[in-house]
Structure formats: structure tokens, C-alpha cells
Amino acid sequence: MKTRYIAAASALLLVVGGAAQAQQMELKIGHTLNPSSHYHKAAEKFKEVVEARTNGDITVSLFPQSQLGGEVKMLQSARLGAVDLVVTSSAPLENTVPEMAILSLPYLFDNLDEADKVLQGDAGRHFLDYMEPRGLVGLTFLSAIERSVYTSKKPIKTVADIGNLKLRVMQSPSYVAAYEAFGAQPTPMAYSEVYLALQNGVVDGAENSPDTFVMDRMTEVTKYLNMTKAHYMPSLMVMSKVRFDALSDEQKAIVADAAKEAAQASISTFRSTYTESLDKVKEANVEIVETDRAEFAKAAQAVWPSIVANTPDGEKNLKVIEDAKAK
């Protein structure tokens, strides 16, 4: 009898232990940027909140600098449930969520404050809601990213100066169209390839934010940071719908709250590193060039009609943004 009791108790412990083990979950977050970037600070905040509020039932592992692939690859993997979360810019989402292309209109926002205000409000949620039918859950927009062109051959002061320069751009049809309108030769490629492409003269320049320009040592292979500021590109945190649906309601709420805190961490980090980065650009003997942005904005208007017309819900979603800007 005693032996049977011990055996039954042992079996019960195995069942309970197995159930407890089944509740453990690891979430992997991938992104393409440096561990000092606002992407990584957002991921760290997400990890901190999720692990604390689930008492360690969910652990979060971070994979910066394209360890899980480029943004396009990670997003496709997330749709399949092979990658749990991705911190990404909006442009690589356009092939999967074509409505996002409106956010890639050049000179859509006047400044960083305006972009963040719109994206952190109801308009931002409107765009995030497009993702779920495509196998993704848009958790939150992070900081908008002010992007300018950096070059190795010559400075860019006017639209004429950018003519025929071969520039790496985001893997986005809208970015390609914008830089064609400026007269450049846009060359989409994964971000992990950009440094060597500049070093080997495959491209004459690229476009990105000043903080990333410095963190990823692009100052070593370029001479000019041209303040074109053509895009205040949204960044966001996206989760695999397969993985999100596997969470309990309580865990989903924790993930949503953690994403909100991650957004604030991203916004504050981007703003602080932006200012610091411009000082480091000067220290690296890279010339900061003030570009005639009014001339660039005028040239950009030529490509707006085609981007809007070729984007699902284009007119409607442009109005969503313009209405939010006016508030």
C-alpha cells in the first residue's frame, strides 16, 4: 500500500511539474541595430517589464545587430512563428502590410515632435491594426527616426547635388520612388551590408539617422552628413500573431503594457543620442551639411500622387495622418 502511495504521489508530482514547466516561455526579440541604440533600449525595457510582471514565467532574450537576420527576413519569420518579436522600421513592412507605405511619403512630417505625436495617438493605432490579418500583431510605435543622407564623394546642398549618386535606401518601393524623384540612383540592400558597400565603393552614400550613423561607424567610410531630413520614419515593435495567441489574457495584457513602456524608452533614448551623435560626427571630421530642404520637399511632391494611388487605402490613410497633425 505504501509503495503504491509513493508511486501515485510521484506521478502527481511529475504531472504538476510538467504543467509548471509548460507554462515557462521564452520570447526572442530581434533587431538590426547596435546595443546602444534606441531599438535595443526599447527591447531591454520590454524584457525588464515582462520578466518582472510574469515572475519569470516568461523570459525575454535579445538579439541585436541582425543576429536573427535582416528586417525583411525577421518579419517573414515572425509571420511563421519562428521569430517572436521584431523591432523594425516601418518601410520593410510594406511588402507584407502595403498600407504602411503612406508612412514613407517623403516630408510627410515637419519634425520629430509632430511625427511622435501622431504615431503615439489614435492614428498610430489605426496603422497597427492593419497587421493582424497578415500574421503579425503591432504592439506599439517606437520613436520616429529622422533620416538624412551621408555621402563619401561630395556634399549635398541642393537637389542637383544628389543627381546620379548611388545611394543605399530602405528595402521599400516608396523609398526607391522618393530618391528617384530626387534624381539619385537608389539601391535597396540589407542594412548589414551597408558599411562594406560604402567601403568598397559599391554605393556613394546611404540614408539613416545620425545616432545610427555614428554607432555603426559609418563616419569611417563617409565624409559628409547632409541634413536632408526627408523621412521621419516610424519604428515599431511587432509580435508574431502565432506567439501572441499562445499567451494567456493576463500575459497579453502584460506584453501590451511592456510595449508602452518600451515606446517611451525608445523616444527618450533617440532624442538624447541624436544630440550627442551630432557632436561625435564633428569630432570624426565628418562635415555636417545644411541642405536646402525646401527644394527637396518641393521635388518630393512629384512622387506623392503615385505612392498614394498605389497604396491600399492611400487617400483615406493620408487623411488620417493629416487630421492627426492638425489636432
CATH number assigned to the domain comprising residue 133: 3.40.190.170
Give the count of beta carbons closer than 10 Å to the beta carbon of residue 292. Answer: 15
Residue 134 has pLDDT above 50, yes or no: yes
Does residue 177 form part of some domain?
A: yes
Helix then strand count (H, E) for the chain reads 14, 11
Instruction: Check: CB of residue 148 under 8 Å from CB of residue 109.
Output: no
* H or E segment to which residue 49 belongs: helix 38-53
Q: Distance (Å, rounded) from C-alpha 123 to C-alpha 88?
A: 18
Distance in angstroms (rounded) separating the CA atoms of residues 254 and 272: 27
Predicted local distance difference test score (pLDDT) of residue 6: 44
Q: Is residue 15 part of a domain?
A: no
Whether 306 is in a domain gets the answer yes
Torsion of CA 153, 158, 164, 170, to 10 degrees: 90
Contact 166/203 with Cβ under 8 angstroms?
A: yes
Number of structural domains (the chain) is 1
Q: What is the predicted pLDDT for the residue at 7?
A: 44
Does some domain include residue 8? Answer: no
**Cα pseudo-dihedral 257, 104, 233, 193, rounded to 10:** 110
pLDDT digits (tens, 9 = 90+) for 187-208: 998 888 999 999 999 999 999 9
Return the pLDDT at 20.
43
> 144 lies in a domain?
yes
Domain span at 196 = 26-326
> pLDDT at residue 41 above 60?
yes
In a domain, 168, yes or no: yes
Confidence of residue 2 (pLDDT cuts 50, 70, 90): very low
User: What's the rounded mean pLDDT across residues 128-141?
Assistant: 98
* Within a domain: 286: yes
The reply to whether 204 falls in a domain is yes
- Report pLDDT digits (tens) over 64-116: 999 999 999 999 999 999 999 999 999 999 999 999 999 999 999 999 999 99
